[in-house]
Structure 1
Amino acid sequence: MRGSWNGLQALFLQDCPYAYYVHCFAHRLQLALNGAAKDVKVVWRFFLMLTNIVNFISASAKRCNELNLIRKAELKELLDSGELETGKGLHQDRTLKRARATRWGSHFASITSLMSLFKETKLLLLEISDHGPNQQFRGDAESNYIAMMSFEFVFALVLMDKIMGLTNFLCQAFQTKTQDIVSALNFVENTKMQLQDMREHGWDDLFMSVVSFCELHGVDGPDMGARYMTGTRRSCQQKDVITIEHAYRVDVFNDVIDCMLKELNDRFPEQTVELLTLSSSLDPRNSFKSFNIEHICKLAEKFYPADFLPHELKALETELRYFQNDIHHLPCFKETTTLSQLCQQLVETTLAENYIFLDRLIRLVLTLPVSTATTERALSCMRIIKNRLRSTLADEFLADCMILHIEREFANNIDNASIIEEFKSSKPRRVKF
């Protein structure tokens, strides 16, 4: 869809050369996470082993059932000893979750599920490696058990749990049905600041979490002050004399965060950030606190030159000065919080006829798709509605079905009986028995 030569973006640019393509923020974040994982070898190996372990357990219903039985036995033992308390919604059955390339946030869900079921998964793999049905299953279980009990795997598990815990909030915020420009940029900048703070001051907290996790589950940790060895551990193959702590802190911890920050900067380029920042000057929240005439005129001049001629830009500046006085005197603007509401207020109060160029600029800014998660979900659902058995579905009926799906929160509140009665009372109809 974003192809600049033959994709949907190219078709838009043919009709409107100044239409700006803003890639889905949630999708950008997912690409940043994947890019950070690919650039660091330890994290890349971790995700490969995580996928192997989850697929090995989830591939068989019998193994999933055995995992649940082990968890129930562990919970019963902890409840009997008084280490856990009973309550509604606590200690429910859980299972390992697979990470999917096209489902945002699934990698974090896969990590958290393994962390909560680490002991049960370890016991199940150990049981299969000793009493598996054949040599192949026993070998696969043993290899997964060895990888899972390594310090490198546990370190990457705890590290990615902390990093993705930060980015998961950003990912969930981007998947909301509506997202304004200011909030989107603030979430991105806030995430960058937290990642940078974690890089500068988060090593000690992370290392203590790794050590505690290793002690809890019986994972042997190396001497962090010892020399770090690579390859076959022969001295001639070692390029630098570094300690194990230095290798994990600099080559893994720092590199992952640096790659994450780099990917976030690349996925949110300066032109897009400037466009959205200037657009935020029209934000009506807090009594138009962000209103800036200079930034609004720069937005129209730099990003929409085909829509505003030079004399129209001067007229826009004049309109903005008059509008700045009106927003503090007219009561209709006091409770306005979004650009769409502002546009509606201009139309309802007929002020759009006076502020022609301002209304035009607001409509152009409203076309920026800051959050397209809902749109992508609707496109995915189109395959369910128009399937092989309903391939001749007309466009109008398909559009009606898609509206019911997209606005299902409102559709669920509609009573079918009321629709039938309204349809019946609209005109006399012949009823067949």
Structure 2
Amino acid sequence: MCQIIRYVSLQKDQYVVEESFIDFIKTSKKTGHDLAIEIQQKLIDDDLDIGNCRGQAYDNGANMAGKYQGVQAHIQKSNELARFLPCTAHSLNLLGVHAARVSIKMVNFFGVVQQIFNFFSGSTRRWEMLKKVLKCTLKTHSDTRWASKYNAIHSLCTQLEEVLTALREISEDPSFGDGVAAAKGLLKQITFNFVCYLVFWDKILHIVYRANIVLQSANISIDEGCRIILGLKNALQDLRSGNTDEIISQSTSICEKSSIEAAFSQGRVRKVRKMPGEIASDEVFSREQQFRIDYFNVLDTFLSQMQWRFDKMTEVNDDFCFLTGSSLESWSVIDPKKNAMDLGLLYAKDIEPAEFVSEVESFKFMAASVFPNLKKSTPLQLLNGIRDFSLTSAYPNIEIAYRIFLTMPVTTASCERGFSKLKLIKTYLRSTMGQERLTGLAILSIENRLAKTLDYDEVINEFASRKARRIANL
């Protein structure tokens, strides 16, 4: 497991949101109960009090995010204020995975995309043939890294004409041996139907990919994450409310350039035997009608799952939303007071409810006079403004509330980056490396920004002084 601590720290009289790598936890356990015990023991070893934890984030695995037996459930038994937020980027990934399996045609489509990549990457000669006609290379894709699907679809969609040129040259050159038959098979599968799906998925994945990149920022806050998800939902809803004519028109243009027949192929109509006395018959859809059905099914899958996969993040944002700049400027005095009382009772261990309500009542007017652009001010800017204008003593509970809100994690992208570094550090050449050395190298690599600030002369002198006893013994 990768241990990342998210916190709000004071650096050069300014608050900043930090996510710091602590350690890799070696474990052989798999159940939520056993993993929770190891996490809590690691916190004890690090002299960290789990009672001070205000948020926890994992991926959507059952042993981590399970409602009853997951790690988050066991951690909350020890500290009910350690609110669980599933990784937003991973939840977005699962949306795409489920949408890509909405029908057998979608599964076959992504299978053909992978076959095209495998065909060229499986032979150095075929890959060289591809590079002669392409401006850039094709990409593979996987379910675990959803950004790879966008890269695979987008590279193929923008270079389909060149890919077809390479496939046709290979199919007509007997020197490629078995590759000739494989190229002809792929050419038969790249039809107008396939191009329509390619353009359609390129549009969707482009929107999802941009949102995913922003969500993986280390210092993103809950309110920013909610706005990004809302923007993504609105963009997908806009596609849903439209029609497929634009996609079909764009696909027709691509097919005309690539010498593909720009018409939906009609497959063989399967005759269903009727039982004696049966009058009704099943409705038979054309390929164009089936494409429209798949189009709406994919978007409906995205939109329906977005209703519940981000509930936890929305719930936390609703608890703190009255402290955002736009809310302080537009809401009435009564609404923030009610929300402040609810939040004060929820975090009674950290803030005094009665004083917090009183502070919020006056802070609304103070913020309007202190911040020139209150409506666009982020929670971090408001927190720094409290310190810049020496308002900490007047609004101590509000400052604590902002720090709690900014500490809440949005994604576990930092953990994934830590595992990426682990693959680079612990290679087969370092297979006997111990845990302590591994952690040390990982800290130097992951926290390289801090490592660059070290004074190497001072470190060398300290190291030499510790080894000076050997000289004394001689």
Percent identity, aligned pairs only? 24
Alignment correspondent of 2:115: 52
Alignment correspondent of 1:63: 126
The yes-or-no answer on 1:22 pairing with 2:85 is yes
2:366 and 2:167 mapped to 1: Cα distance?
A: 70
1:114 and 1:352 mapped to 2: Cα distance?
A: 55
Shift, 1:370, TM fit: 1.7
379-388 vs 32-41, greater mean Cα deviation:
379-388
Alignment correspondent of 2:94: 31
Give TM-score scaled by structure 2 length: 0.70
Coordinate RMSD, CA, aligned: 3.9
Alignment correspondent of 2:282: 239
Change (3 A) 1:133 1:359: same
The yes-or-no answer on 1:172 pairing with 2:213 is yes
The yes-or-no answer on 1:124 pairing with 2:158 is no
Which of 142, 149, 152 is matched with 1:100 structurally?
A: 142
> What is the aligned residue count?
396
Change (3 A) 1:121 1:331: closer
1:87-122 C-alpha deviation (Å, 9 max, x unpaired) = xxxxxx411100122324111110111123323322
Relative to its length, the structure with more helix (as a share) is 1
Contact (CA 8 Å) 1:26, 1:104: kept in 2 or not?
no
Contact (CA 8 Å) 2:337, 2:361: kept in 1 or not?
no
Change (3 A) 1:33 1:301: farther
366-375 vs 333-342, greater mean Cα deviation:
333-342
Look up the SS of the partner of 2:84 in the other structure. coil
1:350 and 1:185 mapped to 2: Cα distance?
A: 30
Which of 155, 164, 167 is matched with 1:113 structurally?
A: 155
Which of 320, 327, 331 is matched with 2:367 structurally?
A: 327
Contact (CA 8 Å) 1:378, 1:405: kept in 2 or not?
no
Moved over 6 A (4+): 290-293, 331-336, 347-350, 424-431
Look up the SS of the partner of 2:83 in the other structure. coil
2:225 and 2:128 mapped to 1: Cα distance?
A: 42
Alignment correspondent of 1:248: 291
The yes-or-no answer on 1:317 pairing with 2:357 is yes
Alignment correspondent of 1:84: none
1:243-283 C-alpha deviation (Å, 9 max, x unpaired) = 4433322x1222221122122223222x5313213423323
Which of 453, 456, 459 is matched with 1:420 structurally?
A: 456
Relative to its length, the structure with more strand (as a share) is 2
Contact (CA 8 Å) 1:282, 1:292: kept in 2 or not?
no
Alignment correspondent of 1:80: none
Letter in 1 for 2:81: Y
Contact (CA 8 Å) 1:275, 1:303: kept in 2 or not?
no
Contact (CA 8 Å) 2:319, 2:343: kept in 1 or not?
no
Change (3 A) 1:283 1:290: farther
Give TM-score scaled by structure 1 length: 0.76
1:145 and 1:62 mapped to 2: Cα distance?
A: 19
Alignment correspondent of 2:247: 206
Contact (CA 8 Å) 1:339, 1:366: kept in 2 or not?
yes
Shift, 1:366, TM fit: 2.5
Unaligned runs of 5+ in 1: 72-92
1:211-248 C-alpha deviation (Å, 9 max, x unpaired) = 11111112223369xxx666x53375972144443332
1:289-324 C-alpha deviation (Å, 9 max, x unpaired) = 477766666656657755328x94333211212333
Change (3 A) 1:337 1:330: closer
Letter in 2 for 1:267: R
Shift, 1:170, TM fit: 1.0
Contact (CA 8 Å) 1:199, 1:257: kept in 2 or not?
yes
1:362-402 C-alpha deviation (Å, 9 max, x unpaired) = 3332231123323331244234445654632428x82x654
1:65 and 1:42 mapped to 2: Cα distance?
A: 31
Shift, 1:345, TM fit: 5.7
2:453 and 2:81 mapped to 1: Cα distance?
A: 44
Contact (CA 8 Å) 1:97, 1:109: kept in 2 or not?
yes
Unaligned runs of 5+ in 2: 1-57, 59-63, 275-280, 469-474
The yes-or-no answer on 1:358 pairing with 2:398 is yes
Change (3 A) 1:296 1:17: farther
2:306 and 2:296 mapped to 1: Cα distance?
A: 15
Alignment correspondent of 1:74: none
1:59-113 C-alpha deviation (Å, 9 max, x unpaired) = 2222211111234xxxxxxxxxxxxxxxxxxxxx411100122324111110111
2:178 and 2:321 mapped to 1: Cα distance?
A: 60
Contact (CA 8 Å) 2:226, 2:313: kept in 1 or not?
no
Change (3 A) 1:215 1:267: same
Change (3 A) 1:378 1:428: closer
Alignment correspondent of 2:188: 146
